[in-house]
Amino acid sequence: MFSLNNKIVLITGAGSGIGAAMAESFAQAGARVFIADINKTGGQEVVAKINSAGRQAEFMGLDVTNEEDCNQVARQVLDSHSRLDVLINNAGIGSVGTLLQTTGQDMDHLYAVNVRGIFNLTKAFLPAMLDRKYGVILNMASIGGVVGIRDRLAYCTTKFAVVGMTKSMALDHSHQGIRVNCICPGRVETPFVKARLAEYPDPEKAYREMSTTQLTGRMLRPEEVAGAAVYLASDEAASITGAAFLIDGGWSAGK
């Protein structure tokens, strides 16, 4: 197991799904984890689970679309711990639809959470990381940031933007001690995917079809993504920056 002993880590959207699994894995690897989520109930449940196992987690209410919220969270973490070692921009939302089925409002909302949210929070923490010449930033992209997906116009647009932001930031800041990577998972069985499935006329058929896009024939488990995140955040991955790390069950290999 890779060690994150004494690292201060903040994970957005960690009150559910992949973020919750990452919070547990990071705490297990020795990190002190801030769980920052708009979903207070989910976030507090994850904190209680981690703390009851004798590990360290704390909840912070955060809407990543709100710049002032992001600045406030950064101030609180930096005031209390003087540093943030690892920032995981995981919070994200999805939507189903082609261009003609997507409204301008859907487009703006997805952009606000999936892209602008990462921009807001990273901007709030980056100066402190640069001061220390140390920081790891891990953004949650998607297989939909590497290949197009039918009926996911807005989602893929935002996730391609996350990959672009990751690579640009790596170019700008890797020589200053900051590593910036993103993870591109295939379909992961989480409340996010279950909500998407419920939008189909036949959710069970949709589940089977979604599973076959992975060559492994199944969706990923959140813990599998969390394992990759722990590695990428650890100092063992010191030479990995600017990467769009695929954990997609082989989806991107082609048909």
Catalytic residues: 155
Per CB under 6 A, does 161 bind ligand NAP?
Answer: no
Per CB under 6 A, does 91 bind ligand NAP?
Answer: yes
Is 136 within 8 Å of 85 (Cβ atoms)? Answer: yes
Residue 138 vs residues 10, 181, 211: alpha-carbon distances, Å: 10, 5, 26
**In the complex, what is the shortest distance from the CB of residue 5 to ligand NAP, in angstroms, rounded to a whole number?**
26
Per CB under 6 A, does 33 bind ligand NAP?
Answer: no
3-class secondary-structure state, position 58? strand
What string marks each residue from 2 to 31 as x (binds ligand NAP by CB under 6 A) or -? ----------xx-xxxxx------------
**In the complex, what is the shortest distance from the CB of residue 39 to ligand NAP, in angstroms, rounded to a whole number?**
3
b/e code 73-87 from CB counts within 10 Å (16+ = b): bbeebbeeeeebbbb
The residue type of 18 is: I
Q: d(Cα 198, Cα 215) in Å, to the nearest integer?
A: 23
Among positions 34-73, residues that touch ligand NAP (CB under 6 A) are: 37-39, 42, 62-65
Is 55 within 8 Å of 5 (Cβ atoms)? Answer: no
Per CB under 6 A, does 193 bind ligand NAP?
Answer: yes
Residues that bind ligand NAP in the complex, under the rule CB under 6 A:
12-13, 15-19, 37-39, 42, 62-65, 90-94, 113, 117, 140, 142, 185, 187-188, 190-193
